[in-house]
Amino acid sequence: MRFTYDPNVTPPLTEDFGCDNDDPAYDVALLSDGSITAAHWTGGGNQSCLIRVNASDGTTNWTACVNDDVSPPNPASSRGIDVDSSDNIYYAARTVGNTVTIVDTSSATSTVTFTEADPNGLLIKFNASGLYQWSRTVGSGASTKASTVAVSGTTVYLGTSAKAMMQFDAYREKYTWKPAVFKFNDSGVSHS
């Protein structure tokens, strides 16, 4: 849903893009032409999508999707997006299963394979037209979530959390989430 406040319009303009309770939007970013890109999960399935919406009339310019090979309750899900100065879009997602298929706006498909079926973090770069550029994965051998992405110049930061075992003493242990930040350049080369 997009909400626009204009004191001269009563009621304020609200547009609903046809989603229901199972289609939450996780993040939005503004491109240089004023259009909006939104990351959302298509509820009830194993797909999350990135959508670019025209700023002037709210129509969808394009949609690119990420499909994993596991159905609910643990599907692929959107986590965050950011845009660089050239309107390239960096998309953070959480995936489950051994393969993920990325379908860009040209209907070309790219497959990413994981050695562990546990949740993995995924960073995907699309250009301004929604064409797939590259992807990078992060995993810990346990549940890993890519939760946010931020771009500064030509540097891309991927924020994640990983489920890890914490040992309190010889008799007590529990799982906890530990944060990590990964640094890439805009070509997907990892700095650290």
Residue 72 lies in a domain: yes
84-113: average pLDDT: 85
Domain of residue 85 covers 2-142
Total domains, the chain: 1
35-56: average pLDDT: 78
139-151: average pLDDT: 72
190 against 151, higher pLDDT: 151
Q: Is 173 exposed, middle or buried (0-12, 13-18, 19+ CB in 10 A)?
A: exposed
Residue 152 lies in a domain: no
pLDDT of residue 147: 74
Digit-coded pLDDT (tens) for 160-185: 777 665 555 666 566 666 777 778 88
Give the whole-angstrom CA distance, residue 95 versus residue 32: 29
pLDDT of residue 179: 75
Residue 23 lies in a domain: yes
SS (H, E, C) 81-133: EEECCCCCEEEEEEECCCEEEEECCCCCEEEEECCCCCCEEEEEEECCCCCEE
Residue 167 lies in a domain: no
Global pTM value: 0.77
